[in-house]
Structure 1
Amino acid sequence: MLNLVLFGPPGAGKGTQSAKLIEKYGLHHISTGDIFRAHIQNQTDLGKQVSQIIADGNLVPDSITIAMLEEEIKQNPDAKGFIFDGFPRTVAQAEALDAFLESNNTAISGVVALDVDETELTQRIAKRQEISGRADDAADKLKKRIEEYFGKTIHVLPYYEGQNKLTKVNGIGDIEEIFNNLTAVIDRY
């Protein structure tokens, strides 16, 4: 089973590259952001619980995120593997994911971090906000999300680096070129 973590700050291209990787490798995509947005749109109990947290640009508590992620994995028992997009965001989440996968006789195969500087991120998200109108892409929320990433989330990388599972890929440039660089890394897994 191929289990990948696609890592990067908001606007790094995780969603774009995930779609291409899913098609190539037949993986099941798990984006915590997409799952949260679906719950919010459908006004589920979880959606109501996390709506304000996300609207404020904060991270959803680990316990809620992990339970939701485990449920998503359990709902796809025949998957060839998973691509985790936007998760884990804390070392505690990474440890919980490892423990859950181990209890299901699998593990994270590798972690690929899309490396994109803050100036490029700001430009990409401003453009995405014009197109999609996503509330979490508004300028004030974006600044908080980028600060959250560089202040907290980036600290997950040494956790995977210590397991020799981390590879960084330049996330700036042509989408196809970035994809080819990603697949060159993933094909080694």
Structure 2
Amino acid sequence: MSTGKGLIFLGPPGSGKGTQAQELSKELNIPHISTGEMLRAAIAKQTSLGQKAQVYMDKGELVPDELLLGLIEERLKEKDAENGWILDGFPRNVAQAEFLDKLLHKLAKFSEQAINLDVPDPVIIDRLLLRGQKEGRKDDNEETIRRRLEVYREKTQPVLDYYRQQDRLSSVDGNRELQEVTKTLKAVVT
């Protein structure tokens, strides 16, 4: 079994998963693996996967499992992930969580813990609208944001229960200053 630190960052869109994963990635010297970034890169390159994924992402829907699973498996096999990794945006449903556990077992790696960043919906909506203005992301408009939160509650909330039942879930209040959240996360993972 790997002794590397495998971390799974959970939380609704706009909860700060990506920002906090980048901070901890530098701190722990392990890669931040963002399925959202991998998908956006595939869309930008107009790959077959990217074109299929864009249809779902533009509507605020989750990209189907079959499009994500191979992407994740290949990424976790890369050399920089040998000593650990931070997964951001995956798993998004219980079937993906079960797939991930089987994959990690097959690769002789494991996730030590899942971390949930808890942020109230009104704060998330404000954050994502601001991000949409700054970055010009067309999926960050209020209608799509509300749909993404609805999909998150429906599909991803059960993942929290999955990891909680295995005693592998830590929840962190993500509605604080960036540095405060980072400090709390460091204490949780070390």
Q: Does the TM-score normalized on the shorter chain lie above 0.5?
A: yes
Pair 1:30 & 2:44 matched: no
Pair 1:111 & 2:114 matched: yes
Identity of aligned residues (%): 39
What letter corresponds to residue 31 of structure 2 in structure 1?
H
Pair 1:136 & 2:147 matched: no
Q: Given the alignment, which residue of 16, 38, 42 partners 1:39?
A: 42
SS at match of 1:137: coil
Pair 1:70 & 2:77 matched: no
Deviation at 1:78, TM superposition (A): 5.3
The CA distance in 2 between the partners of 1:155 and 1:148, in whole Å, is 12
Match of 1:53 in 2: 56
Deviation at 1:79, TM superposition (A): 3.3
CA deviation vs aligned residue, 1:92-121 (integer Å, no higher than 9, x gap): 000000000001112111011001010110
> What is the aligned length?
187
Q: What is the CA RMSD across the aligned residues, in angstroms?
A: 1.1
Match of 1:5 in 2: 8
The CA distance in 1 between the partners of 2:14 and 2:25, in whole Å, is 19
TM-score, normalised via structure 2 length? 0.95
The CA distance in 1 between the partners of 2:186 and 2:81, in whole Å, is 23
Aligned 8 A contact 1:62 1:93 in 2:
yes
- Where does structure 1 lack aligned partners over 5 or more consecutive residues? none
Pair 1:148 & 2:151 matched: yes
Deviates more, 1:27-36 or 1:72-81: 72-81
Deviation at 1:76, TM superposition (A): 3.1
Match of 1:95 in 2: 98
Deviates more, 1:131-140 or 1:2-11: 131-140
The CA distance in 1 between the partners of 2:117 and 2:18, in whole Å, is 11
Aligned 8 A contact 2:31 2:81 in 1:
no
Q: Given the alignment, which residue of 157, 168, 171 partners 2:174?
A: 171
What letter corresponds to residue 179 of structure 2 in structure 1?
E
What letter corresponds to residue 172 of structure 1 in structure 2?
N
